[in-house]
Structure 1
Amino acid sequence: MRDDTKKTLWREWLFLAVVIPLYGFVAFYSLGDRTAPQTYAVIDNQSGPLYFEVEEAPASVALYCPVNSATKYIDITISASANQMDWPVAFDTDDDPKDYTAAMIWYDYPLSCNNDTQYIRIDKHPASNRLVLAEIGFYNQEGSLIRAKALSENGGLVLDEPQTICRDSNRMNSAYFDESYFPSSALEMQDGLSVAEMDHPPVGRLIIGMGMNLWGRNPFGFRFMQVFSGILMLPLLYFCGRSLLKSPKWAGIVTILLALDFMHYTQTRIGTLDAFLVLFILGMYGFMVFYHNSQSLWRRYLFLLLSGVCAGCAIGTKWSGLYGAAGLALLYFFWLFQRIRFAWGTERRAILHECTWCILCFIMIPCLIYGLSYIPYAQTLGRSDFYGVAIEHAKQMLSYHTGTSTNYNHPYSSHWWTWFLALKPVFYYFEPAPANIYLYATGNPLVWGFGLVGAFYALWRGVCRLDDGGLVIATAYFSQLIPWIFITRDTFLYHYFPMVPFLILALGYFFQNTCTHPRIVGYRNLFIGIYLCAVVASFVVAFPFIYGSGIFWESILRIRLALQVSALLFGVLYSGLLIWAYCLKKKERL
């Protein structure tokens, strides 16, 4: 028995040593450029506009703004002059038909300049609080870079990195979707600039800032920590699954399914907050499971502490972490009630000491994490009372998330009931022909369909049979899903992401505990083997639009239809096995 245990552990570590680097390679593949402008000039009411002398009249200007103005947009007025007396407008973002408004994106603005233009002035709009420029490049009609000389004191800061200039914006050199907000606000807090967008607590932005400190303020840097979080989810889910399913084999299966999940891959490669939220929610439940299964007192206390830290970080990343935390509290108190019922004397005193420890872990530490995370943000406001700033910001966020500004019928928004089969994906990026690049967040119907059935199965076993595995999975999944049913603001498919790891655990739990009759279990295992091959194939086929490479829209529609039909077919086949198993059990009872 002792040797078998060591052999199993050796195989487990070997499995993780293969899966994690392999997934890491695919996840980091073409994540983003490592070069981007690092210095910048600030145009505000005190500094005034930037002036440049050019050797010939420019036809266009390429520029990069690392942060937005207080309006959450970039507002630019570019004027041209031959004598520094008259300054006709050569370009204004208000007049441009395109949506040239976002930070951390390269833009190529056309300029309407006279042939005798020698000077360029770049200024913010009067109503805007600032304009932050990192790099600019002026181009003539032939597309050649024009030599320019800064006439303003800080103008040289936007001409000092010409090797970073990109005239064509793409997902490798620029931000896409909501990346224009979160990394830029992380940069603002690092440099003490006023924060333009702060619709969530600061923890996630501080983590993004860690990636930029490691790799620079570039697309690779502000996406690095998300990928790293996605990688960390794999071993965490494995050991959580091992504790819940009591089987290295089934833990390995759910780990592979998470690594091949469409949403997990796409959402951990974009510079937003959701990857951190999912990691921390998975962590707080995983460590709670480890606590429940541990017999060592110091380990139980340690796992409670780690669970509380993850809960604090989840809530400090997004308030939706509170949904999972509420489910975690219900789970803990249920287990506590079961222990107290049969505990007496010394054991009851030990439970009371543990409850005192939980006050520290799940109330004091999360409050401490939440409050301390506001120190950089408070410094941008010139304040030291960071807890006061946190309270004021909480009121602002509550007003924002419950107000009309989040209920504008976004074309990519979706109702909660469409999430189960990913009926309405979220488009993140598009490049027209000849590239034909589509990138959007979606789910795999092969996985999510079975996972939904598994979630209800886990709920049934957890409630009716008080099975710990089913109880944990159902609590984690439904405690996060149910609040979204009552939310009236615009919601998106990526709001379902925190439930996906538990959906996959539910899938493994469902397969493990059904069709276990000796006459059927071999067919079940064959089915699961074929099913896993189909999931691998679906990841390969769908890779172009979950990664962002060239593919025709008609091909995407065919792939999505094929996946939905495949999910239905596999569902029918497994339903047949379930009916067969039921008939055999019924026959044995007679």
Structure 2
Amino acid sequence: SPLSPQGPPLGVRPWRIAAGICLGAAMGVKWSGLAFAVAFALLSLLWDFGARRAAGVRHPYLGAMSKDVPHGLIAFALVPFVTYMATWTGWFATALGYGRNWDQATSSGPFYFVLDSARSWVQYQWQVFTFHNGLETSHPYMSEPWSWPLLLRPVAFHYESRKGACPGATDCSEAVLGVGTPVIWFGALAALVALVVWYVATRDWRAGAVLLAYGVGWLPWFYFAFAANRTMFLFYAIPMVPFMVLAITLCAGWLIGPAVKTADGRLPARRTFGAAIVGAYALLALINFWWLHPVLSAELIPYAEWKARMLFDTRWI
């Protein structure tokens, strides 16, 4: 009841179910989504602890463990698993998928069909795990996790040199380079450092959430780099990008400041100055993306223009 020393039950929260569905779909694309599922489940539980304590509940931690954890397990364990399994519907529905008939049926009947299908699916998962866990083959575009925020070694997905194929130049290039916009990536580095200081000073939950999510997308790869010597590439950092943008957004909001007018009805100079800085940065990011676009989209350009866009010269080639 609301008068319970543990606080009231908060029930099933739709946003958690939606998050669980998204996390399950993410795991269906790449297993690294599992790290986000674990991190967000813990973060959600910590928020429940904080909410009950802020409401003055006598036993906030016991209340969260008894009333919030069960619903959290449904949202962050059961729902992601069901969603992940749903992404395999096509594989289960056909007999032609890779490894679909690894466990050949020894008996007829629906029970044995389901059992053999499940065993084949488990074997497939094991093959995926052992392949990726033992992937140590050298590659010219491989990179270490520490270098990803600096964009030191992007992946060249496509490059073709053509003679006289573009106006005004003898040597022409067509390329697709897997790289982020430097203005955004380097700006995010500064923003993340600012968020660390901000969180230490204020314990702002927004800064903490962004830092946690960014760390979950980046730090686990260091284990594979040093303990497993795994072959890795810059595009593994893609899940970090939304939280880099959130870090920039939080810092932009801090620079602009609250919309509180002065006594004479004017906005403070700090807000005008902050908006000018944020606007200039956004414009710079757009210009930077426009400049890089030809080497992101296989546009045929003179070789000299392609070379001018290689920020770190040989490391981007």
- TM-score class normalised by the smaller sequence: 0.7 to 0.9
Cα RMSD for the two superposed structures: 2.8
Within the candidate set 301, 307, 312, 1:551 is matched to: 301
Cα distance in 1 for residues equivalent to 2:205 and 2:198 = 9
| Alignment equivalent of 2:20, drawn from 296, 305, 308 | 308
Compute the displacement of 1:339 (Å). 3.1
- In structure 2, the partner of 1:337 is 49
Alignment partner, residue 175 of structure 2: 438
Aligned position for 2:278? 528
Aligned to 2:158: 429
CA separation of 1:321/1:500 partners in 2, compared to 1, >3 Å: closer, same or farther? same
Q: State the distance in 2 between where 1:533 and 1:461 align.
A: 26
* C-alpha distance 463-398 of structure 1, shift in aligned 2 (>3 A): farther
Match of 1:392 among 110, 123, 136: 123
What is the alpha-carbon distance in structure 2 between the residues aligned to residue 444 and residue 415 of structure 1?
A: 19
Secondary structure, counterpart of 1:432 in structure 2: strand
Aligned equivalent of 1:361, options 75, 78, 84: 75
- What SS does structure 2 have at the residue aligned with 1:343? coil
Q: Provide closer, same or farther for how the CA distance between residues 329 and 463 of structure 1 changes in structure 2, counting only shifts above 3 A.
A: farther
The residue type paired with residue 391 of structure 1 is V
In structure 1, C-alpha distance between the alignment counterparts of 2:271 and 2:161, rounded to whole Å = 49
Deviation at 1:340, TM superposition (A): 4.1
Q: Report how far residue 397 of structure 1 moved.
A: 1.5
Q: Matches of 1:432 and 1:441 in 2, distance apart?
A: 18
Partners of 2:174 and 2:301 within 8 A in 1? yes
Matched, 1:496 2:208: no
- Alignment deviations for residues 348-376 of structure 1 (CA, whole Å, 9 cap, x no partner): 76874443222222222222233343343
Structure 1 CA distance for aligned equivalents of residues 158 and 272 of structure 2: 44
> Secondary structure of the residue that 1:524 maps to in structure 2?
helix
Q: Which runs of 5+ in 2 are unaligned?
A: 1-9, 102-112, 166-172, 259-267, 313-317
Q: 1:457 aligns with which of 184, 194, 201?
A: 194
Q: 1:489 to 1:553 in 2, by over 3 A?
A: farther
Instruction: Name the residue aligned to 1:510.
Output: 251
Shift of the 463–480 alpha-carbon distance from structure 1 to 2, 3 Å rule, reads farther
Q: Which segments of 5 or more consecutive residues in structure 1 lack a partner in the other structure?
A: 1-296, 563-590
Structure 2 distance, partners of 1:409, 1:310, is 33
* Equivalent residue pairs, number: 263
Separation of aligned partners in 2, 1:463 and 1:392: 46
Q: How many Å separate the matches in 2 of 1:553 and 1:317?
A: 36
Q: Larger RCO: Structure 1 or Structure 2 (Cα < 8 Å, ≥ 6 residues apart)? A: 2
After superposition, the C-alpha distances for 1:131-189 in whole angstroms (9 at most, x for unaligned) are xxxxxxxxxxxxxxxxxxxxxxxxxxxxxxxxxxxxxxxxxxxxxxxxxxxxxxxxxxx
The code of the aligned residue for 1:389 comes to: S
Shift of 1:314: 1.3
Per-residue CA deviation, residues 274-320 of structure 1 (Å, 9 max, x unaligned), is: xxxxxxxxxxxxxxxxxxxxxxx67x611111111111111222111
Q: SS of the residue aligned with 1:452?
A: helix
What TM-score does the superposition give when structure 2 sets the normalisation length?
0.73
Q: 2:130 aligned with 1:418, yes or no?
A: no
Residues 371, 390 of structure 1: 8 Å contact kept: no
Paired position in structure 1 for 2:109: none
Matches within 5 A, 1:457-476: 457-476=194-213
The 5 Å alignment of 1:254-265 reads none
Structure with the greater alpha carbon radius of gyration: 1
| Residues 315 and 532 of structure 1: CA distance in aligned 2, closer, same or farther (over 3 Å) | same
Counterparts of 2:189 and 2:31 in 1: how far apart (Å)? 24
Between structures 1 and 2, the one with greater helix share: 2
User: 2:6 aligns to what?
Assistant: none
Does the CA-based 8 Å contact 2:25-2:87 persist in structure 1? no
Instruction: Tell me if the contact between 2:196 and 2:207 (Cα under 8 Å) persists in the aligned partners.
Output: yes
Deviations 1:8-39 (A, max 9, x none): xxxxxxxxxxxxxxxxxxxxxxxxxxxxxxxx
